[in-house]
Structure 1
Amino acid sequence: MNIIRCLFVVIILVSVSCKSKVPVKNDQITNEKAIEKQPNIVVLLCDDLGYGDLSSFGHPIIKTPNLDALAASGIKLTNFYSTAPVCSPSRAGLLTGRSPNRAGVYDFIPGLKKSEDNRDLVHLQADEVTIPSILKSVGYATCLVGKWHCSSRFNSDKQPQPNDFGFDHWMATHNNAAPSHHNPKNFIRNGEEVGEIEGYSSQIIVDEAIQWLENKKNDKPFFLEVAFHEPHEPIASPENLVQKYLEYTDKREEAEYFANVENVDLAVGRLISYLKKNNSENTLIVFSSDNGPETLMRYSRAKHSYGSPGVLKGMKLWTNEAGFRVPAIMSWLGKNNFSGTSDAVVSALDLLPTFAELAGAPLPIRTLDGQSFKSLLDKGEFKRDKPLTWAFYDAINERRVAMRSGDWKIMGKLEVDNKELPHIHNLYDGNEEFVKSAQLTDFVLFNLKEDINESEDLSQKEPVVFEQIKKEFEIQYQELLEGSHVWTRGD
């Protein structure tokens, strides 16, 4: 009997042991119910699409019926911000949920060319935790199609590539489709050159996305990023669409731009039709842009750049609103969640923590600048706990640092010894001390709820608010500066 009793005790102890879990922090406990209902997640990201470039956001000519229908069925976000006013840092911020300055991506990443400011070293570093890597850790299949632009050495084992950040499958270009959107020759699929592909880039990458979904051999939930090259230069558009828009303008280049945006809409329409047919039960779709519209003829090849900032001030590369306030639409297929127009202040920084919460995934143990907006999807309510801060040292406008806190936006110049900080592309060991010595000066304050086009500086009219926001601004910028990555040749 004693032997039987001992065996019984052992069996009980083993059973309890098997059911126990390794202790983790409370905010990292995986939600088992969430895993049972993990949504598919699709991010659609345009390149240089302006706040006013969709018909649902007020464009008087461009036709975007598929995106308009997506907005009508879901949430149209009128206060959505990209993480930077230019491509590479914007993408780095979206993927990591952190200010791109923390990742050391301060400006667009050019092709590899050694430079004094170490810009040739810039890439999304291996220790950055991304949306696909987090989702993959809780069972997701992951795919990227389109534009990467997060490394100076693309398709090289000397820097991390998309697969190193959690993408199971990828077909992408370093930067723009080349020689244009038509019949591009520079796509890489999972490390292998693809060669020339007939067709237009927006349609090509949707083809690849659908093919990946068709070939997926399991029932895993999926994360799919579709990073369109359009409407970034060099623009090429189907002739039938160009002819359609020549009825509205006598400038062929403008008609080509309008047609370019509609071609994206057609590609989005094809993908949504596929998703509705095959994944309609539980798929969250997020559409936006990496930054605002390019300025016509800012450089010699920008001859098609007829993008619209709508009612906003500025353009791409500005820290005024049009530089990084962008159109955004969210629609959750198969869910009866909130729908309508929302003026909640949301950022691409918020995608990572939101997707993690929806998937029941742990957050990375590091500084995040985004926060989950799940409450917006559920109830249409969301309020930021932390302001949004941008420091873009190569901005076209004078005030290169900006912060939005509630309805208020404050901007400031950077000066060293009463002289404007020179334009810089990168923070490195040769300019770190100089940049960190710069002082915020010459502030302006706007109430964006009352003054969306930043026309009236209220710093004198609202002294109490100004002093409060200014103090917060200085603290937030200093915290960001201290956390910014500095590039050295030893990296």
Structure 2
Amino acid sequence: MSEADVSRRSALAATGAAVAAGAVLGTGGTAGAETVERPFRADARSRAGRPNVLLILADDLGWADLSCYGSPHIRTPNLDRLARDGVRFTDGYSAAPICSPTRFGLYTGRYPGRLRGGLEEPIARPDELHGIPPEHPTLASLLKDAGYSTAMFGKWHCGYLPWYSPLRSGWDTFFGNLSGAVDYYSKISGTEVDLYEGEVPTEDLGYYTDTIADRAAAHIRRRHDRPWLVNLNFTAPHWPWEAPGDHEESARITARSRAGDARALWHEDGGSLDTYRRMVEAMDAAIGRVLRAVRDTGRERDTLVLFASDNGGERWSYQWPLSGGKGDLNEGGVRVPTILRWPARLRPRQVSDVPVASQDWTATILEIAGARPAATHPLDGRSLAPYLLEGARAPRHDLFWRTRDARALRRGRWKYLRAGRDARDALYDLTADPREQADLARHHPEVVRQLAARWQEIDRTLLPYP
């Protein structure tokens, strides 16, 4: 889709749809002329130095789980304010529909399938083959080489000790969990506590969403003599379904886990829409405290903040109008809320429907920060920096996904999808049909052929599934 298409037609349609869904920024769903989004336009005249980078990742947050994306019952005033002060992307995507492959894509800027660990959907247990190799360049290592300090707070999920950890992949500071999920209070995962200060096991009985946010805020408030990268990786609103104050439920799940119940954390007998609401709203409040720390240090204007989710929503998520969810390559599995703010360079109250995936943000941040990708490990992502900062045409590139059982590729308005091993090839016009209900494959066989061939071309460059 061309930038002209975006500015003339698609972005206006996206804005209208957002308003119709109640996605009006900073007003709790009440429309006001001063808060309605405008189609994105770069401010090519503004200039700024290298920004701090605050990269916030939610876990299993659905596309419409924020009030600025149309949630009818979840209120997220801090993320709404972030969107109001920056750019909201209607067509933001995760690298994969599952936790750890997306993190591989975000941290390396490459397709998850370029590494053995990226084939795990997700990484479920310690294995010396399943992780980001310490020698592989990452967003953190490349920014560190360019003079940034680097820190991560929260979920890693890219490999276990003794082989892998954030400290071995470019982060100077780490406080968080290595696995895919922990109890929000006990931090139990399996039969053991999964919480680390660096690579040293530690314990904390606070509500995990608050704990990691407060640690990130304290880190940001410290005196810094160089630009910084902070990755804040929430486990919210991933199961177990525990909101602030749910101590009894935590004790029950923790006891089951310690007794060897491998599925206790899945919490298949718990949760509710109200619990999920409170989990998301607690995360929003925690993000508000972190953003306040940025503001209080006087660096808000010079800090680039990117918020996204690692994949689509799960059991209690609100996805309308998308179909599918976590684990699927339908839009509901990979399209995620995505917000970008950088006051020094980006105008507020804007919306963009340019398709952008996790790897593209890696390339974008590296370019903005003046860091060079490693020639030995070329990026698969495409930088949006010229589009965002200079008004250039948005990258015209295909978005590619695969899982063990499914495949998908997006090119402009078209999405090619084979939803399962025995499924037929389908084609959807996402501009008209984001719910993927009208299969147009038989009407446009040449488009299907081209997109399927391109998918296979990329797939041949990746590792096969074991």
Unaligned runs of 5+ in 1: 1-34, 113-118, 241-250, 297-305, 395-399, 421-440
Specify the SS of the correspondent of 1:145: strand
Deviation at 1:466, TM superposition (A): 3.0
Please give the residue correspondences for 1:166-185 in structure 2 after superposition, counting only pairs within 5 Å: 166-176=170-180, 178=182, 180-184=183-187, 185=193
Match of 2:25 in 1: none
Change in CA separation of 1:376 and 1:268 when aligned onto 2, cut-off 3 Å: farther
| Residue 405 (1) aligns with residue 415 (2) | no
Bigger Rg, which one: 1
My pick for the range that moved more, 307-316 or 334-343, is: 334-343
Change in CA separation of 1:340 and 1:253 when aligned onto 2, cut-off 3 Å: same
| Residue 68 (1) aligns with residue 80 (2) | yes
Specify the SS of the correspondent of 2:229: strand
Change in CA separation of 1:368 and 1:212 when aligned onto 2, cut-off 3 Å: same
Find 2:429's aligned residue among 447, 460, 463.
447
Amino acid at match of 1:388: L
Distance in 1 separating the partners of 2:415 and 2:125: 35
Percent of pairs with identical residues: 32
Match of 2:115 in 1: 103
Please say if residues 147 and 227 of structure 2, whose CA atoms lie closer than 8 Å, have aligned partners that are also in contact: yes
Please say if residues 74 and 339 of structure 1, whose CA atoms lie closer than 8 Å, have aligned partners that are also in contact: yes
Distance in 2 separating the partners of 1:155 and 1:120: 9
Distance in 2 separating the partners of 1:237 and 1:120: 34
Specify the SS of the correspondent of 2:367: helix
Find 1:476's aligned residue among 441, 455, 458.
458
TM-score (norm 1): 0.75
Please give the residue correspondences for 1:162-201 in structure 2 after superposition, counting only pairs within 5 Å: 162-176=166-180, 178=182, 180-184=183-187, 185-195=193-203, 197-201=204-208
| Residue 330 (1) aligns with residue 340 (2) | yes
Amino acid at match of 2:236: E
Find 1:391's aligned residue among 383, 396, 402.
402
Deviation at 1:127, TM superposition (A): 3.1
Distance in 2 separating the partners of 1:84 and 1:316: 9
Find 1:209's aligned residue among 216, 230, 238.
216
Distance in 2 separating the partners of 1:256 and 1:235: 7
Specify the SS of the correspondent of 2:342: strand
Distance in 2 separating the partners of 1:238 and 1:167: 29
Deviation at 1:322, TM superposition (A): 0.7
Please say if residues 182 and 237 of structure 1, whose CA atoms lie closer than 8 Å, have aligned partners that are also in contact: no
Please say if residues 103 and 128 of structure 1, whose CA atoms lie closer than 8 Å, have aligned partners that are also in contact: no
Deviations along 1:396-452, one digit per CA (max 9) or x if unpaired, are xxxx0110111110023676xxxx5xxxxxxxxxxxxxxxxxxxx821111101111
Computed over aligned residues only, the root mean square deviation of the Cα atoms, in angstroms, reads 2.4
Find 1:286's aligned residue among 287, 306, 309.
306
Match of 1:354 in 2: 364
Please give the residue correspondences for 1:221-300 in structure 2 after superposition, counting only pairs within 5 Å: 221-239=227-245, 253-278=272-297, 279-294=299-314, 296=315
Distance in 1 separating the partners of 2:349 and 2:392: 11
Distance in 1 separating the partners of 2:179 and 2:209: 14
Amino acid at match of 2:170: G
Specify the SS of the correspondent of 2:441: coil
Distance in 2 separating the partners of 1:293 and 1:220: 36
Unaligned runs of 5+ in 2: 1-46, 188-192, 247-269
Distance in 1 separating the partners of 2:113 and 2:346: 37
Specify the SS of the correspondent of 1:139: coil
Deviations along 1:356-408, one digit per CA (max 9) or x if unpaired, are 111111111123210111134325665333311111005xxxxx011011111
Match of 1:303 in 2: none
Deviation at 1:183, TM superposition (A): 4.7
Structure 1: 4+ residue segments shifted above 6 A: none
Deviation at 1:174, TM superposition (A): 1.6
| Residue 321 (1) aligns with residue 335 (2) | no
Distance in 2 separating the partners of 1:477 and 1:177: 30
Distance in 1 separating the partners of 2:205 and 2:135: 37
- The number of equivalent residue pairs is 389
Please give the residue correspondences for 1:149-168 in structure 2 after superposition, counting only pairs within 5 Å: 149-151=157-159, 154-156=160-162, 159-168=163-172
Match of 1:42 in 2: 54
Deviations along 1:77-123, one digit per CA (max 9) or x if unpaired, are 010010000001010111001010011212100123xxxxxx76311
Match of 1:132 in 2: 140
Specify the SS of the correspondent of 1:133: helix
Please say if residues 328 and 419 of structure 2, whose CA atoms lie closer than 8 Å, have aligned partners that are also in contact: no
Match of 2:354 in 1: 344
Please say if residues 84 and 348 of structure 2, whose CA atoms lie closer than 8 Å, have aligned partners that are also in contact: no
Distance in 2 separating the partners of 1:186 and 1:471: 43
